[in-house]
Amino acid sequence: MRSPTLILAASLSVAGALPGFAMGGGGGMGGGGMGGYGGGMRGSVSADDYGTAVRLIHHEKYADAIPYLNRALRERPGSADVLNYLGYTHRMLGDYPGSLDFYQQALTRDPDHKGAREYLGELYLKMNQLANARAQLTELTRLCPSGCEEKDVLTKAIADYQLAAAAPATPAPQPVAATAASPAPAQSVPAQSAIPASGTP
């Protein structure tokens, strides 16, 4: 999984430079950008909710980012980029069915959304659906004939998944059985109280 550090810096610098900022062309969380609004956020659409969500995701506060993403989605219904992030945050929280739904909505809006293709492939690996992950890689190969970061990341994720699946299982350590030659534990003999000698006054 790529770090959102680069896109966070990019989004903040762009947000500061423009009255309404547009974030890049729908990539993932790395060099392609955490994605924008696919045409940009303008005017009444709040950059604050989206930017706050990006910052929270950067700090791995996925549950905290979701309300901001929901508000951003209400302001721009059907944004593939916001839907992609909702898929990402839900996946990171372990809500795979919810994540799948958001990724599919994002791809319905923008079938060529590279970030959503990559993240959906990674979700399929979490769900042990290798064939579906490979189908997303095929789509990224179509979208990136000269290569792209999303394709490279998903390619590596699939290779790592296959490597882990092929690795022999490590047997659990067996408890050491007591041997017959082991001496029995010594029995403690209770100390006898001293008896006074006869004739003691």
pLDDT in tens, 75-117: 989 999 999 999 999 999 999 999 999 999 999 999 999 999 9
Q: Is 23 contained in some domain? A: yes
Q: Is 158 contained in some domain? A: yes
Q: Is 13 contained in some domain? A: yes
**Contact partners, residue 17, CB within 8 Å, separation at least 6:** none
CATH number of the domain within which 43 lies: 1.25.40.10
User: What's the rounded Cα separation, in Å, for the pair 146 and 132?
Assistant: 22
Q: Is 92 contained in some domain? A: yes
Once rounded to an integer, what is the mean pLDDT over residues 148-174? 89
**140 lies in which domain range?**
5-165
pTM reported for the whole predicted model? 0.65
Assign 174 a pLDDT band (cuts: 50, 70, 90).
confident
In this predicted structure, the answer to whether residue 3 has a pLDDT above a threshold of 50 is: no
- The count of structural domains within the chain is 1
Higher pLDDT, 150 or 20: 150
pLDDT in tens, 4-52: 434 444 343 333 333 333 333 344 444 333 443 333 333 334 568 988 9
Q: Is 200 contained in some domain? A: no
Q: Is 183 contained in some domain? A: no
In this predicted structure, the answer to whether residue 66 has a pLDDT above a threshold of 80 is: yes
Q: What percent of the chain has pLDDT over 90?
A: 56
Q: Is 199 contained in some domain? A: no
User: What's the rounded Cα separation, in Å, for the pair 177 and 67?
Assistant: 56
Q: Is 174 contained in some domain? A: no
